[in-house]
Amino acid sequence: MECGEVASAEAGLGQGSSVPPALMDNPQARLTVVVEVESGRESGPEDTCCPTLLLEGPQSICLLQPETLDTQVEMGRGAGEALEDGSDNAEPSLPLQEQCITFDRVLGSDAAQEAEQELLARVQSTLGLVARGYSVSLLLRGRETETPRLVPQLLQMLFEETLPHRGAVPGVSTLSLVQLSPSGRTQDLLSPGRENLSVLDVSPLGLVVENASEVEVSDSRAASDLYLQAAGDEGRDCPLLQVLAGKVIGEEVEGSLPWIVSWLLEGNNYTGLLLRLDPQGGSLSLLRAALLGASGRRMQVKQVRPTQWDAVEEARARRANLKSLRSGLLGDTLTESGLSQLGRALRELRVVKAWSQCPGSQMLKGVKAEAVGLPELQAWHAPDVALQFFLAQAQRKRLQEQHQIWIQEELKRLEQEEEEVEGDQVKGLVAGKEAFERQRWHREQTLWRLQLEALQAERDTAEQDLMALYDVHVQAARARTCHTLQVFRAWRELWEEQTMTTEHHHRSLLAGILQDMLQLATQNQELQAQNQQLQQDIG
């Protein structure tokens, strides 16, 4: 995905998942960097103190940096001291500082597709690990004005690489599309009405977009069509170079775009970069710092571990933690930090519950429930009616486009046949007119017939979509009813718990007050007895 977009593939494994020992024993990974350099400008008088990029081979870039101003001054002083005759016409030449940086592959501006294929070839082996619980992230920069062609190839390779590793384990593939902007706006492309979503770092899942839509895809073609239909045309500016250069450290607030980019570079995932660099398109000092930063990150080795977790145990542990936090707030004075901690725990619990109710988890739960004779809990997962409507609308639009292409091809074929017939007809004018009228009526009848068949097919598809949407709406209504009952029961349990806690607190206070009253009454009786004794002694 271009510039401000990130392609990320991940899989959360359940309790029954297994990872080969060889992968568990060697989880080290390095950053993969492929660089494509645009045609740079020639060095000239206006280019002083600006680096020049030169390709030194298939894996290295040479930075030519003129000496700094201080060095120029010193050289000028040396030249003035050497010229005792007072002539100042000679100017010192500026030596160039040469620095070579090595990456996985460096290509010229005429090899855009080759750069993309090089990145895909280098990450191909890691894409197969997604089915085993590993995460892979790709960051692309410099292709914001081009038609996206790498993402469909990446999705196809992802499905091809993960299919052999699944084996007999049941599971489904889902896709989420989220667009991030430098202004902090996060939009769900599968549900256009959902905006301002939050990005959280939830253990052990990693980077998660809260309340993002998730749709099941059967193969890479369906996933690519969904991406191409939903991809927005907004600006895709991304602070990737600033993060690589280390110039946004103070701005990396959790959930912001620089923080997300830094997390993808340093988090628990295999990472690949594809950088298209244009020396004339921005700050050359930033470009030089970003290249050095990317080279330094490429030399670092990080430990990558698979995501293995049990959703039920994780939710149970988080509920216990939430209960302890709630009990602590009931007994102590309310503080902003305590309330924010409780709110963060609630959000993370909702994320864990949502992930535990994904289609793959529901499939495993259905198998287990059927084995022990328990009711299946799939009705608790409410389908997204708007998302299903969006997908059905996209499919109908694609069907209409296919019908239009089909009709145009048929018309072209008829026109070719008519041209061949006209070439053979060299008889009288009347016969030519009659043949022309017959051909015209035949073409119009064929066009009407094709349009009628297309409309009938589109009508049948619309009826099927309407029935499917009705079923989805019924399921969503039932799921909302169940969810409402569940929320009501949860609030009732919470209210009962708070009532019992308050009653226990009041009983404790009442018991303390009664004990104090008994002590005061006893002391009062003792004082009265002492007073009477003193009066008797005085009398």
Q: What are phi and psi of 265, to 5 degrees?
A: -75, -35
Other beta carbons within 10 angstroms of residue 26's beta carbon come to: 9
> CA nearest 363: which of 166, 137, 151?
166
**Tokens 């330094």 found at:** 296
Both tokens of 382, joined, read 């409410």
Q: Specify the DSSP element, H or E, that contains 100.
A: strand 96-102
Task: State the pairing for strand pair 52-57/60-66.
Answer: antiparallel
Residue 237 token pair: 């500016």
Q: Is 106 exposed, middle or buried (0-12, 13-18, 19+ CB in 10 A)?
A: buried
Structural domains in the chain, sorted by start:
6-70+96-173+216-303 (3.40.850), 311-379 (no CATH), 382-496 (no CATH)
Give the distance, in angstroms, between the CA of residue 447 and the centroid of all CA atoms in the same chain: 46
Task: Establish how many alpha carbons lie within 13 A of residue 126's alpha carbon, considering only the half-sphere containing its beta carbon.
Answer: 28
Can you read off the two tokens belonging to residue 414?
Answer: 């008829």
What does each of the 539 residues of the chain score in pLDDT, given as a tens digit?
334 456 666 654 443 344 443 344 445 677 888 887 776 543 343 443 445 667 777 878 777 765 543 444 344 444 444 434 444 444 444 455 667 888 888 887 777 778 888 888 888 888 878 878 888 888 887 766 666 677 888 888 888 887 766 555 556 778 888 887 777 678 888 887 777 788 888 888 888 888 888 888 878 888 888 888 777 555 556 777 888 888 775 556 777 888 888 888 888 888 888 888 777 766 778 888 888 888 888 888 888 888 877 778 888 888 888 778 777 766 656 666 777 777 788 888 888 877 766 544 433 333 333 333 333 333 345 556 666 676 677 777 778 888 888 888 888 888 877 776 665 554 555 556 777 777 778 878 888 888 888 888 888 888 888 888 888 888 888 888 888 888 888 888 889 888 988 998 899 899 999 999 999 999 999 999 999 999 888 87
Determine if the peptide bond prior to 204 is cis (ω within 30°): yes
Give the closest residue to 105 by CA, choosing from 58, 139, 141, 142. 58
